[in-house]
Amino acid sequence: MDDVADAVGVSRATVSNAYNRPDQLSAQLREEVLRAAKKIGYAGPNPTARSLATSRTGAIAVLLDTNLSTAFSDPALSVTLDALSTVVDPEGHALLLLPGDGESGGPRAERILTAQADIAVAYSLADGAPALTAVRDRGLPLVVIDQPHIRGSARIGVADRAGAAAAARHLVELGHRRIGIFSAQCLSAPRGGELSVAEAGNSRFHDNRERMAGYLETLAEAGIPAADVPIWEASGLSVEGALPSAFGLLDRRPRPTALLCMSDLLALAAISAARQLGLSVPGDLSVVGYDDVPPARWSEPPLTTVRQDLSAKGRAAGELVLGLLRGEKVPAPAEVPAELVVRDSTAPA
Amino acid sequence: MDDVADAVGVSRATVSNAYNRPDQLSAQLREEVLRAAKKIGYAGPNPTARSLATSRTGAIAVLLDTNLSTAFSDPALSVTLDALSTVVDPEGHALLLLPGDGESGGPRAERILTAQADIAVAYSLADGAPALTAVRDRGLPLVVIDQPHIRGSARIGVADRAGAAAAARHLVELGHRRIGIFSAQCLSAPRGGELSVAEAGNSRFHDNRERMAGYLETLAEAGIPAADVPIWEASGLSVEGALPSAFGLLDRRPRPTALLCMSDLLALAAISAARQLGLSVPGDLSVVGYDDVPPARWSEPPLTTVRQDLSAKGRAAGELVLGLLRGEKVPAPAEVPAELVVRDSTAPA
DNA sequence: CAGAATGACTTAAGCGCTTCAGAAAGTCCA
DNA sequence: TGGACTTTCTGAAGCGCTTAAGTCATTCTG
């Protein structure tokens, strides 16, 4: 920058202004500065130095609970982040991805402390993930998505319990009594098998607990006690990984006539397993998913599921980010609604 | 940091060393420094200032051609980035996502110039995307994935042409003569309809052109001239968005008995469309995909497709990144192989 | 026991920019 | 004509850290 200034015969401040505050110098001088910069091969202010001077990095740290391929195998994440990114992009912010370390349910604390970001967005991390403590230690503003509220941070979530309740009510109203629950990872060391009610209620993940509670409460109200509800934990996070547990659930005698699945991915796995066992969906087995990811619409059969407005959630998170960055005070925790979408994977018992 | 130094009664350099070079001070003094820091509420060196001093940011800019949800709707991206991230993570690098602007086939140039990153990784950008020029202007090292080689940058690609040729040969060997090509976006303003051979060969995207060439060359060798091959461009990037074009392709008379699809996503759309038209796959229509993404394995029927080792590609990209960052000289462009995987979506004509 | 080697810390020169408080020169208006 | 404004540019103080070179006291070594 000094070189450019010398070349034009002005001060460094003027060169800086040419880039950052065009109104501070005459248009023609600005032109001249830019031309000299180009000639010298100066591509504009060094971003790091600028950040140091302005104490703004222009990056938003996104904390994930797993590695990237697992995290993004859930379309819910890409849709949410896309909406978030669309909101913050015009303000010049980009997303810095911090994948989980595979153990703590979030990125390593050290990663947080050395990440260059103005704010952190935590997406469905495990309760008590060390990354969250690190965010606080560092004094970084925080927005949490689908997690319990943390004092001093903004939160956006989904009406998970109500959505799950609606799914369960739907099956009950169709006359189902033998209903199984196909759960996402609950145990810290997932074993992919049948879960006790206590285990099912103690997941490290907030949305998991909420959905489970929504299912079980509603079934109990309908006279189906939790003890009579087989609950199986998925053996893996992908459709393929979930298949063994799906078979396990469908091998039970008496076989459930309907399945409440904690995600559409699990529902697709259940349908695939059912098909391989020669069961028709929804003839022999009704299946309800959760999330309404795009494939749910064109799966065979199209999936009855609980839809959450992922874009709205992402946009809301984006607005929270911008607000906190502007120094506005932390708003009260918010929720987007969840609604049942009935398609063709459920039928009367 | 000065406050911590004062509290302990040492110089700032010593505090810095306590964090960065434990061997430069006695263990007990280091302990004392760390304790004082904790007490004062100092969470460690400011990452931006550290970056300015070391001229290392610890971030890798990932340049994408579209918005995040589109980009990540292709599982190939998450798998590749996951492998990349796994390689670079232990060295302390994180990924900074720069989505495309929706027009230029890459992020806006300005984004590149202000991004805090040590190196850029471009993933399948359109030829001549301004972002690539910006990377060069800024003097950032560059690794390109699935793009034409750029002088001075490292490249990793896939044997796209050979893979496509293998797919086409497979159909020819099964006796198919009426073969359609279902292409990803070719035109800069995609219209989702039939393409002339010239249009098909002029895609802005390298892998697109290569695959097209592989298909057409092989078919021509088998006595099927390009003029006899209907080529349709997908109307959208998602399965849903591609459906209309799939119907268009299957509406042609005489109807193709086999389809070469440039991605598994398009193949799934084609299968879905065929099913809705009452056609059986592979009975009435053979379908070949490309990529071998996870859903290809558990789709109905499982997809015959061209498998590229995405993890290997991502890992290779990661190694290239680390190498360039270490200052090693740019290696020659490399390719991972592509191989045909025959499953159940293809059958004799 | 002198001189070399080692260990533990400090000094100070940057890293490349932003921005506030002026200074200099020109413009306006009564 | 002269004081009050404007416009345009400059000076210099940071932003918070790293690191090469240097100081000083101790420990070896022959």
Is the minimum CB–CB distance between B294 and chain A shorter than 8 Å?
Answer: yes
Report CA(B20)–C1'(D18) in Å, whole number.
Answer: 9
Question: How many residues appear in chain A?
Answer: 349
Residue B187 confidence (pLDDT)? 81
**Contact call for A96 and B97, based on CB within 8 A:** yes
Per-residue pLDDT tens for A27-73?
999 999 999 999 999 999 999 999 999 999 999 999 999 999 888 88
Give me the pLDDT at residue B326, please: 93
- Give the angle A313-A319-A320 at the CA atoms, nearest 5°: 90
Is B267 buried (19+), middle (13-18) or exposed (0-12) by CB count in 10 A?
buried
Give the distance, in angstroms, between residue A32 CA and nucleotide C22 C1'. Answer: 25
CA dihedral B20, B26, B28, B31 (to 10 degrees): -10
Give me the B residues in range 16-55 that sit within 7 A (CB) of strand D.
Answer: 16-17, 19-21, 44-46, 49-50, 52-54
Distance between the alpha carbon (CA) of B48 and the C1' atom of C7, Å: 31
Type of residue at B132 = L
Mean pLDDT of chain A: 93
The better pLDDT of the pair A339, A240 is held by: A339
Among A276, A262, A237, which Cα is nearest to A69's?
A: A237
Residue A233, pLDDT > 90, answer: yes
Which nucleotides of strand D lie within 7 A of protein CB?
Answer: 7-12, 14-20
The residue to which tokens 């879905």 are assigned? B272
B94 and A97 in contact by Cβ < 8 A? yes
CA distance B81 to chain A (A): 7
Nucleotide nearest to A25 (CA to C1'): D8
Distance, in Å, from the CA atom of A229 to the CA atom of A242, rounded to the nearest integer, reads: 19
pLDDT for A255 beyond 90: yes
The answer to whether the beta carbon of residue B29 comes closer than 7 angstroms to any atom of strand C is yes
Point out the residue among A97, A116, A240 whose CB comes nearest to the CB of B298.
A240
CA-based nearest distance B262→chain A, Å: 19
Chain C bases near protein Cβ (<7 Å): 7-12, 14-20
Separation in Å: C25 C1' and A33 CA: 21
Residues of chain A with C-beta less than 8 angstroms from the C-beta of B97: 85, 94-97
pLDDT tens digits along B324-341 = 999 999 999 999 999 999
| 3-state helix/strand/coil string of B224-292 | CCHHHCCEEECCCCCHHHHHHHHHHHHHCCCCCCEEEECCHHHHHHHHHHHHHCCCCCCCCCEEECCEC
Pairwise CB contact (< 8 Å): A114 & B137:
no
- Residue A182 in this model has a pLDDT that exceeds 80: yes
A75 preceded by a cis bond (ω within 30 of 0): no
Residue-level pLDDT at A238? 77
How far off is chain B from A42, nearest CA to CA, in Å? 8
Per DSSP, A327 falls in state T
Instruction: List A residues 260-289 in contact with B (Cβ-Cβ < 8 A).
Output: 272, 275
CB contact under 8 A, A238 and B272: no
Q: Which residues of A touch B297 (CB under 8 A)?
A: 240
pLDDT at A337 over 80: yes
pTM > 0.95: no
CA closest to C19 C1', residue? A13
pLDDT in tens, A295-316: 888 888 999 999 999 999 999 9
Who contacts A180 (Cβ-Cβ below 8 Å, separation ≥6)? A229, A230, A231, A232, A249, A252, A256, A258, A259, A260
pLDDT tens across A257-295, in order? 999 999 999 999 999 999 999 999 999 999 999 999 878
pLDDT, chain B, mean: 94
The string of pLDDT tens digits covering residues B263-279 is: 999 999 999 999 999 99
- Cβ distance of A57 and B116 shorter than 8 Å: yes
CA distance B211 to B159: 9
Q: Can you tell me which residue has the tokens 């509420």? A: B41
pLDDT at A82: 94
Scanning the structure block, which residue is given the tokens 């547990």?
A: A245
DSSP A231-258: EEE-SSSSHHHHHHHHHHHHHSSSPPSE
pLDDT value at residue A264: 92
Q: What percent of chain A has pLDDT over 90?
A: 82
* Portion 52-71 of A in contact with B at CB < 8 A: 52, 55, 57-59, 67-71
Cβ contacts (< 8 Å) between A77 and chain B: which residues? 72
CB contact under 8 A, A99 and B81: no
Interface A-B, measured as beta-carbon pairs within 8 A, has a size of 160
Start-to-end Cα distance in chain B? 74
Tell me if chain B has a CB within 8 Å of the CB of A78: yes
Structure token digits, residue A72 = 């993004």
User: What confidence tens digit (pLDDT) does each residue in A129-159 have?
Assistant: 999 999 999 999 999 999 999 999 999 999 9
CB of B263 closer than 8 Å to CB of B294 = no
Instruction: Using the CA of B52, give the nucleotide whose C1' is nearest.
Output: C15
Token reading at B74: 């292709």
How many CA atoms, within 13 angstroms, populate the side-chain half-sphere of residue A88?
35
Give me the residues of chain B with pLDDT under 50, please: none
Q: How far apart are CA A14 and CA A309, in angstroms?
A: 48
B26 touches strand C (CB under 7 A): yes
Contact A67 B85 (CB under 8 A): yes
Res A188 pLDDT > 80? no
How many helices and strands (H and E) does chain A possess?
15, 12
| Nearest CA among B333, B329, B306, B328 for reference residue B317 | B333
Q: Which residues of A touch B85 (CB under 8 A)?
A: 67-68, 97, 99
